[in-house]
Amino acid sequence: MRKKIIAGNWKMNMTPSQAVELVNTLKPLVANEEADVVFCVPAIDIVPVTEACKGTNIQVGAENMYFEESGAYTGEVSPDMLTDAGVKYVVLGHSERREYFYETNADVNKKVLKALEHGITPIMCCGETLEQREQGVTMDFIRQQVKVGFQNVTADQAKTTVIAYEPIWAIGTGKTATTEQAEEVCRGIRACIAEIYDDATAAEIRIQYGGSVNAGNAAELFAQPDIDGGLVGGASLKADFGKIVNYK
Ligand code: 13P
Averaged pLDDT score across all residues of the chain:
97
Q: What is the pLDDT of residues 42-76, one digit of tens each?
A: 999 999 999 999 999 999 999 999 999 999 999 99
pLDDT category, 101, cuts 50, 70, 90? Answer: very high
CA distance 148 to 42: 26
pLDDT category, 1, cuts 50, 70, 90? Answer: confident
Q: Provide the number of structural domains found in the chain.
A: 1
Atom of ligand 1 nearest to the CA of 172: 4
CA distance 53 to 85: 12
* Residue with CA at minimum distance from ligand 1 atom 5: 233
Q: What is the pLDDT of residues 128-181, one digit of tens each?
A: 999 999 999 999 999 999 999 999 999 999 999 999 999 999 998 888 889 999
CA distance 246 to 240: 10
Query: Model-level pTM?
Result: 0.98
Pocket flag, ligand 1, residue 53 (CB < 6 Å): no
**How many residues appear in the chain?**
248
Sign of CA dihedral 141, 41, 60, 39: negative
pLDDT score, position 54: 97
Backbone angles phi, psi at 29, to 5 degrees: -90, -20
Pocket flag, ligand 1, residue 30 (CB < 6 Å): no
pLDDT score, position 177: 87
CA distance 227 to 211: 13
Q: Are 209 and 177 in contact (CB under 8 A)?
A: yes
CA distance 64 to 30: 23
148 Cα–ligand 1 center, Å: 23
pLDDT score, position 176: 83
Catalytic residues: 94, 166
The pLDDT of 192-203, averaged and rounded, is 98
The pLDDT of 6-16, averaged and rounded, is 98
Q: Give the CA count within 13 Å in the CB-facing half-sphere of 135.
A: 10
HEC string for the chain = CCCEEEEEECCCCCCHHHHHHHHHHHHHHCCCCCEEEEEEECHHHHHHHHHHHCCCCEEEEECCCCCCCCCCCCCCCCHHHHHHCCCCEEEECCHHHHHHCCCCHHHHHHHHHHHHHCCCEEEEEECCCHHHHHHCCHHHHHHHHHHHHCCCCCHHHHHHCEEEECCHHHCCCCCCCCHHHHHHHHHHHHHHHHHHCCHHHHHHCEEEEECCCCCCCHHHHHCCCCCCEEEECHHHHCCHHHHHHCCC
pLDDT score, position 30: 98
Q: Which of 130, 212, 244 to mutate to test the pocket of ligand 1 (most atoms within 8 A of CB)?
A: 212
CATH number at 209 reads: 3.20.20.70
Q: Are 93 and 108 in contact (CB under 8 A)?
A: yes
Instruction: Give the range of the structural domain holding residue 159, as residue numbers without chain letter.
Output: 4-245
